[in-house]
Chain A
């Protein structure tokens, strides 16, 4: 991703105890981390615990991050995944009931692949200017038409189309190496 280097720099600053860098990193990754936790844990309370633990681990471990070993996004993804798995394991240990339906979800490899792809896309969305991000999220996940989005945001239809197109072009650059 084009911003990997700046993510790396933020993590390195966090490793030196830089609070402002930590806040920037939180703003950039809070939604992808929280969304992944909600999807995998299934409830907001435990997702919040896992997200908090993710950022606590980032604060504790940022000094061990080495940019030459991999991208910052992959490192953050691994930290988040670890915290979420830890939380999921606690639930399994406490669970008394056994599900009575067969698990029809994709296998672990496919789920991991989907999870990583989702993480990349959601992280890239966070880097868009708010005006572009909002129209894209409304277009793809709200079920609103372009005209309804224009009405909802109280902007001309042409503005919605321009922002959508500009946002998609920006995402194309951010997700250059990602293919479905």
Chain B
């Protein structure tokens, strides 16, 4: 920075040798780095303000309670259904709204959890997404579970065409995970939609 005033112009000449040494070290550091950002764009601040504001209705504890209730209700409805000759179909026991990431700020998503198949341990899920582009070639989207921000288990793959609903299953103990995540296939793909479990 040739335009920067001399060190002595900046700090004066009445420093003790120790002070001068310390301030000269900082002066040298400041001269060695580029200028900081003049300001942070207001649009960035507004975007960051939205992070985390879609509070998950389903905290882990509530989710576990809801799952237990859902299992009870599912067993009850299954029994009643059999008794009255009904059956099949998807009955949502819990609905989780997904939050869009910066790479898909216009997207929205919802995961509806159905009953757990006691014979297999699979949870039925109905996933609805909107605002994601249709993928061509061999690309597809993946719904997975994250633990500590890392991939921890797959729930299924899908492609979209406008607002799309797909039925998937998960065979995991969901209380062991932190987030539902939708990404495009591929390593280090950004989180497009996510929701805390």
A48 touches B47 (CB 8 A): yes
Residues of A within 8 A of B34 (CB): 35, 39, 118
Q: Which residues of B contact A139 (CB under 8 A)?
A: 4-5, 10
Does A52 contact B22, Cβ atoms closer than 8 Å? no
Closest chain B residue to A38 by CB distance? B37
Asked if B136 is at the interface (CB within 8 A of a chain A CB), the reply is no
A180 touches B29 (CB 8 A): yes
Give Cα A61 to B148, complex, Å: 6
Contacts of B32 in A (CB 8 A): 117, 180
B27 within 8 A of A: yes
Residues of chain A at interface, number, CB under 8 A:
52
CA–CA, A168 and B5, complex, Å: 14
Q: How far is the CB of B49 from chain A (nearest CB, A)?
A: 8
Map CB proximity to A onto B43-72 as digits: 1 under 8 Å, 0 otherwise.
Answer: 111011001110000000000000000000
Please state if B23 and A165 are interface contacts (CB–CB under 8 Å): yes
B29 touching A30 by the CB < 8 A rule? no
> Closest approach, in angstroms, between the C-beta of A37 and any C-beta of chain B?
9
Chain A interface, DSSP helix/strand/loop, else mixed = helix
Whether a CB of chain A sits under 8 angstroms from the CB of B9 is: yes
Q: Is B88 engaged at the interface, CB distance under 8 Å to the other chain? A: no
What is the CA–CA distance of A180 and B29 in the complex, to the nearest angstrom?
Answer: 6
Q: Is there a chain A Cβ closer than 8 Å to B101's Cβ? A: yes
Bound-state Cα–Cα, A124 to B52, Å:
27
B window 89-140: CB within 8 A of A: 101-103
Indicate if the CB atoms of B29 and A49 lie closer than 8 Å.
Answer: no
In this assembly, does B40 line the interface, its C-beta being within 8 Å of a C-beta of chain A? yes
Q: How far is the CA of A171 from the CA of B19 in the complex (A)?
A: 12
Residues of A within 8 A of B33 (CB): 114, 117-118, 121-122
Q: Is A56 a contact of B30 with CB atoms below 8 Å?
A: no
- B25 proximity list for chain A (CB < 8 A): 172, 179-180
Question: B-facing mask of A143-170, CB < 8 A → 1, else 0?
Answer: 1011000000000000001001100110
A residues less than 8 Å from B10 (CB atoms): 139, 146, 161, 164-165, 168
Q: Tell me the nearest residue of chain A to B53, going by C-beta.
A: A19
Are A48 and B29 in touch, CB under 8 angstroms? Answer: no
CB contact between A49 and one of B4, B12, B30, B102 (< 8 Å): that residue: B102
Q: Is the CB of A60 within 8 A of B194?
A: yes
Residue of A51, A125, A175, A179 with most chain B CB atoms under a 10 A cut-off: A51
A143–B188 Cα distance when bound, in Å, is 41
Interface string of A24-66 (1 = CB under 8 A from B): 0010001110110011000010001101110111011101100
Whole-angstrom distance between the Cβ of B87 and the nearest chain A Cβ: 40
**29 A-B residue pairings within 8 Å (CB atoms):** A22-B52, A30-B44, A34-B40, A34-B44, A48-B43, A48-B47, A51-B40, A52-B44, A56-B48, A59-B51, A59-B52, A63-B178, A117-B29, A118-B34, A121-B30, A122-B36, A137-B36, A140-B35, A141-B4, A141-B35, A143-B3, A146-B9, A161-B11, A168-B11, A168-B23, A171-B30, A172-B25, A179-B25, A180-B29
Known A-B contacts: A55-B51, A86-B188, A165-B12. Give 9 more (CB < 8 A).
A31-B37, A60-B149, A64-B148, A139-B4, A139-B5, A146-B9, A161-B11, A161-B12, A169-B23
Task: Mark A residues whose CB is within 8 Å of B.
Answer: 17, 19, 22, 26, 30-32, 34-35, 38-39, 44, 48-49, 51-53, 55-57, 59-61, 63-64, 86, 89, 114, 117-118, 121-122, 125, 136-137, 139-141, 143, 145-146, 161, 164-165, 168-169, 171-172, 175, 178-180
